[in-house]
């Protein structure tokens, strides 16, 4: 079974631009979560989608948004990029069955904002 894939793997953007990152979950997984990883703040939860609906959202500004498609693929968008948005963006997928479950992470998209 193929793992979680994220595209692109690396991205360089200029402050003020917007960016869209993509995540394809493991086949059969319906939940996709997004995390931001930085040296200073570590791994922080952005949001989670399940069946095309955002189920939970972390403490990030409204410039960070996401969506999920009917095939469970997910995208996240960051508008008006700031230098502090430079980070590794990770997505994780899981099978949601009403109890604790493990999340499988993709390799991440390394975003650099200049």
Partner 1 sequence: GESVGLHLPTLSVQEGDNSIINCAYSNSASDYFIWYKQESGKGPQFIIDIRSNMDKRQGQRVTVLLNKTVKHLSLQIAATQPGDSAVYFCAESYYGGSQGNLIFGKGTKLSVKP
Chain residues in the site for partner 1 (CB under 8 A): 4, 31-33, 35, 37-40, 42-45, 47-50, 55-56, 58, 88, 90, 92, 94, 96, 99-108, 110
Closest CB 22 distance from partner 1, rounded Å: 15
What DSSP assignment string belongs to 39-107?
TTTEEEEEEEEETTEEEEE-S--TTEEEEE-TTS-EEEEE-S--GGG-EEEEEEEE---SS----EE--
Closest CB 58 distance from partner 1, rounded Å: 7
CA distances from 4 to 25, 39, 61, 82, 113 (A): 5, 23, 26, 27, 24
C-beta of 48 vs 78, nearer to partner 1: 48
C-beta of 71 vs 112, nearer to partner 1: 112
Closest CB 103 distance from partner 1, rounded Å: 7
DSSP-derived pairing of the beta strands 64-68 and 19-24: unpaired
C-beta of 62 vs 99, nearer to partner 1: 99
Residue 52 backbone phi and psi in degrees, to 5 = 70, 10
Closest CB 56 distance from partner 1, rounded Å: 4
C-beta of 18 vs 56, nearer to partner 1: 56
């Amino acid at each position: 079974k193929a793992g979680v894939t994220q595209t692109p793997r690396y991205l360089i953007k200029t402050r003020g631009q917007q960016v869209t990152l993509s995540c394809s979950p493991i086949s059969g997984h319906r939940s996709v979560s997004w995390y931001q990883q930085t040296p200073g703040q570590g791994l922080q939860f952005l949001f989670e989608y399940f069946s095309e609906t955002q189920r939970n959202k972390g403490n990030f500004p409204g410039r960070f948004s996401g969506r999920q498609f009917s095939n469970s693929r997910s995208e996240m968008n960051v508008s008006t990029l700031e230098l502090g948005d430079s980070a590794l963006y990770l997505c994780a997928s899981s099978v949601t069955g009403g109890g604790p479950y493990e999340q499988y992470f993709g390799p991440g998209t390394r975003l650099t904002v200049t």
